[in-house]
Amino acid sequence: MKKSNSMASLQIITNCPMCDFKYDKKNVKMIDKKDGMITVYLSCQKCRSSMMMVIMTGILGITSVSMMTDITESDLKNIKSSYIEYDDVLEMHQFLERR
């Protein structure tokens, strides 16, 4: 995937839905990235709310799903490791290909 693609995708949500704080680059963490799908974690330094966003790129353009979360940044490392451990990557991939 080209780098410019992911940068454009990350601009979908630029403000905190809770307090309208404008996210800075350092508030956005990419958790996962694979063909046409990017998972990012956004944390607001003003109201300390955080959210997860899944961005999918396909024929119809860019689709994003976002949800509020209470996951902290330190939790992210645990998620990442268990994610790989349980082999969900393959499962998710198969799920997406079936659609």
- Lay out the site mask for Zn ion across 28-67 (x = CB under 5 A, - = otherwise): ----------------x-xx--------------------
Q: How far apart are CA 46 and CA 8, in angstroms?
A: 24
Residue of the chain from 1, 8, 12, 19 that contacts Zn ion (CB under 5 A): 19
Q: Least Å distance between CB 12 and Zn ion?
A: 17
- The DSSP code sequence of 57-96 is EETTEEEEEEEEE---HHHHHHHHHHHHHTTHHHHHHHHH
Chain contacts with Zn ion (rule: CB under 5 A): 16, 18-19, 21, 44, 46-47
